[in-house]
A and B are shown apart, each in its own frame.
Chain A
Amino acid sequence: MSEQPIRWLKFSSPKHFYFLVERLAPWLTGVGLLALLLGLYVGFILAPEDYQQGNSYRIMFLHVPAAWLSMLIYLLMALYGLIHLVWRVRMADIMARALAPTGMLFCAIALWTGALWGKPTWGAYWVWDARITTQLILLFLYAGYIALHHAIDDRHKAAQAASLLALVGSVNVPIIYFSVQWWNTLHQGASIAPGSSPTMATVMFVALMLMTLACWMYAIVVPLRRAQTLILLSEGRSQWVRDGLLVKQGGDRHA
């Protein structure tokens, strides 16, 4: 390794990471709650009905952020899997493991809200078109990752196998994203894509962005908190954990 360590590298140490999260989480939670309240207000009260779908389009304020995050989180898990496999960074596995349940939750929300929207709009809860089928595969990949991690007793081997699955499964993500361009699908194309202006009214777009911010904050805070728990589980015997918890119990956090 290099002579002068870069500052951010120290957060790959569980100890520094733990205390960074302690300080960041309340702020991120606050931002998330604020965005959620604003987003719900703009989405339900300020935004008008859609010219064709009436009110049922409002489900996209949850559906779209959930679908984006389900893909993004899987890519992130694959990246952490790569870091874990190549450089054997233990925090990378902890982060991937902490992200998996949240990614799976958003994936399930995307499928579920999509079904509820599909019935009044298309006339069917479920169709086997390329977008929806590949999104279902993503749900199974999340479930497979979590199951694989639990199925192997040896922690190091479990982490390696699961990282490999995350990495290989990430091939599915671009297929989900581009499926509506590559094949005839019932699912419509993207309303918001890089390089083109959104094909929706501005106030709807603002509501969608606020809800996306709220979902992002959830997808950051909850996995970080989960990672903290995983760190405590694996480092429970080390000195810094004992010191940190003792300081906390004493009520003096600035010591």
Chain B
Amino acid sequence: MKKSHRRLLFVLVLLGATAGAVALVTAALQDNLAFFITPSEILALEELPERNLRIGGVVEEGSVQRIGEGITVAFRVTDGAASVDVQYEGILPDLFREGQGVVAQGRLSAEGTFQANTVLAKHDETYMAPEAAEAMARAKQQVQEAQQGDY
């Protein structure tokens, strides 16, 4: 075995061992590495968590309500399967709107309402011009109308 081959073997074994160790650590920390949990995961919790947590999902269509005269707002966060009521007092990010991804940080109250102290908008990976977005919305509507016509 040539000297350089031995060194190559050593380096590759080292690299493999490091990758293996990191893989094991990240697998063990899987739950802690998630930035948020989903409404389904919240409902599956067996006891009320004592600490702050973050829930992520989509703001349910038609669920956003202003409460009173102030800046308190209530909405529902859904992941399609389950949804959680969220209350937040504060200024919402510009991108916050119904149907948009959102991450709320706060505590789950005993009644099952999530009291958020921070609300972050989650952006998706789509970028397009406003005209294109409008055209897509129009096309979608036309398809829906056409489908309704069939019934």
Asked if A52 and B95 sit within 8 Å, CB to CB, the answer is yes
Stretch in contact with the other chain, from B62-70, B120-128, B142-150: B120-128
Q: Which of chain A's residues 114-170 have a Cβ closer than 8 Å to chain B? A: 120-124, 127-130, 164, 167-168, 170
Give complex CA distance A164, B7 in Å. Answer: 12
Chain B binding surface, main DSSP class: mixed
In the complex, B15 has a CB within 8 A of chain A = yes
Asked if A50 and B129 sit within 8 Å, CB to CB, the answer is yes
Give complex CA distance A139, B38 in Å. Answer: 31
Asked if A201 and B4 sit within 8 Å, CB to CB, the answer is no
Report B-chain residues with C-beta under 8 Å of the C-beta of A190.
125
List residues of chain A with CB under 8 Å of any chain B CB.
48-53, 57, 60, 82, 85-88, 120-124, 127-130, 164, 167-168, 170-172, 175, 182-186, 188-191, 199-201, 204
Asked if A120 and B14 sit within 8 Å, CB to CB, the answer is no
Q: Which of chain B's residues 74-117 have a Cβ closer than 8 Å to chain A? A: 92-96, 100, 103
Asked if A175 and B120 sit within 8 Å, CB to CB, the answer is no
Please give me the residue from chain B that is nearest to A191 by CB atom: B125
Report B-chain residues with C-beta under 8 Å of the C-beta of A168.
14-15, 18
Asked if A175 and B22 sit within 8 Å, CB to CB, the answer is yes
Please give me the residue from chain A that is nearest to B26 by CB atom: A175
Asked if A122 and B122 sit within 8 Å, CB to CB, the answer is yes
B8, B38, B96, B103: which contacts A186 (Cβ < 8 A)? B103
Asked if A51 and B11 sit within 8 Å, CB to CB, the answer is no
Please give me the residue from chain B that is nearest to A189 by CB atom: B125
- 26 residue pairs from A and B, CB less than 8 Å apart: A49-B129, A51-B128, A52-B100, A52-B123, A52-B133, A53-B123, A82-B11, A88-B4, A122-B121, A122-B123, A123-B92, A123-B120, A130-B33, A130-B35, A164-B14, A167-B11, A168-B15, A183-B34, A183-B35, A184-B36, A186-B103, A186-B122, A199-B126, A200-B127, A201-B129, A204-B127
Asked if A86 and B35 sit within 8 Å, CB to CB, the answer is no
Report B-chain residues with C-beta under 8 Å of the C-beta of A199.
125-127
Closest 8 CB pairs of A and B: A123-B93, A51-B133, A200-B127, A48-B129, A129-B35, A191-B125, A184-B34, A51-B130
Give complex CA distance A234, B26 in Å. Answer: 42
In the complex, B28 has a CB within 8 A of chain A = no
Interface centre among B7, B33, B37, B118 (most CB of A within 10 A): B33
In the complex, B44 has a CB within 8 A of chain A = no
Asked if B120 and A200 sit within 8 Å, CB to CB, the answer is no
Asked if B121 and A201 sit within 8 Å, CB to CB, the answer is no
A19 to chain B, nearest CB (A): 28
